[in-house]
Amino acid sequence: MAERVVDCIGLYCPVPIAQAAEAIREVAPGETITILADDPGVENDFPNWCKVTGHELVAMEKTGEGFRITIRRKRAP
Amino acid sequence: MAEEKRKRMVLVLCAGELDRALACMNIAVGGASMGMEVTVFCTFFGLNAIRKDGIARAPRPEEEPKRLGLFGAGAIRRVFAWLNPGGGRYMNPSRFSFGGLGRRLMAYLMRDSRMAQLDELIKLAASLGVKFIACTTSLEALGIPRGNLRPEVKEFAGVATFLAEAIGSDVQLFI
């Protein structure tokens, strides 16, 4: 299955968070989405977003142009 | 998420400055993105943020009930409507207004850094389920017709509705 990638390069807070919130609803629980962003704020924002929403922050890598963030949608309780 | 109660946030936008309106919509979008139920209550000059761009059509003399003075408040309201255009394109920043030049400079800087403009944030907020409420008293006092508000505004209410929302919410901010 093609991985859901959200390209937020060049977009600023709060747009990356908003796009992630929309994208995560489109995948099944347990599946992941990847966010590409270059707003430096995302380094703190996505861990906190995951803390509040309950989704799992799988990985956050620094890339040449910014960050590559992988988030797993939380499973239905 | 269904089993746990969603967190709620109520924002009051009372001021008509562009930076405050941007901060308000930014927090609203952020809250909705984090799964919160968000209500933005706009009152006084904060209403300008949720108005359509430009000058509102003020009530004509025959539509205006004469209540005060010789001419009634209608004449003042018509001048006021002209002096108080709405919408993000007409809102000045709280500093460096430069008689209207400041907002153009700010819009230019925001476009250059690809920061979202006010109307984009409002559309995004509405698409994420943020509820906008316009204060009916302020609308009446400032002479802003309901038709001058953006289509995202679905509710019109007063202080009791705000308090009913605020009393059970987890975050309340007055901007």
Determine the residue among B34, B120, B122, B170 to mutate to test chain A binding: the one whose Cβ has the most chain A Cβ atoms within 10 Å: B34
Q: Domain range holding B136? A: 8-174
Radius of gyration of chain B (CA): 17
Give, rounded to a whole angstrom, the gap between the first and last alpha carbons of chain B.
Answer: 29
pLDDT of residue A39: 86
Cβ(A13)–Cβ(B31) below 8 Å: no
Is A77 within a domain?
no
- The string of DSSP letters for B22-47 reads HHHHHHHHHHHHTT-EEEEEE-GGGG
Nearest to A14 among B29, B113, B114 (CB): B29
Using CB atoms and an 8 Å cut-off, which of residues 3-62 of chain B contact chain A?
3, 7, 26-27, 29-30, 32-35
Residues of chain A found within 8 Å of residue B116, distances taken between Cβ atoms = 11-12, 14-15
Is residue B65 classed exposed, middle or buried when 0-12, 13-18 and 19+ CB atoms within 10 A define those classes? exposed
Whether the per-residue pLDDT at A57 is higher than 80: the answer is: yes
Number of domains observed in the structure of chain B: 1
Is B1 within a domain?
no
Number of domains observed in the structure of chain A: 1
Is B2 within a domain?
no
* 3-state secondary structure (DSSP) of residue A66: coil
| Mean pLDDT of all residues in A60-76 | 91
Is B73 within a domain?
yes
Identify the band that residue B1 occupies on the pLDDT scale cut at 50, 70 and 90.
Answer: very low
How many angstroms separate the CA atoms of B170 and B91, rounded?
Answer: 30
* 3-state secondary structure (DSSP) of residue B90: helix
Please give the C-alpha separations between residue B30 and each of A18, B36, B37, B63, B104, in angstroms, as whole numbers: 7, 9, 11, 42, 26
Identify the band that residue B55 occupies on the pLDDT scale cut at 50, 70 and 90.
Answer: confident
Identify the band that residue B50 occupies on the pLDDT scale cut at 50, 70 and 90.
Answer: very high
Lowest model confidence (mean pLDDT) among A3-7, B74-78, B149-153:
B74-78
Q: What is the CATH number of the domain that holds A11?
A: 3.30.110.40
Q: B132-151 as b/e, with b when 16 or more CB fall inside 10 Å? A: bbbbeebbeebbbeeebbbe
pTM across the whole model: 0.83
**pLDDT tens digits, residue range B77-124?**
788 888 888 888 889 989 888 888 988 998 888 888 888 889 999 999
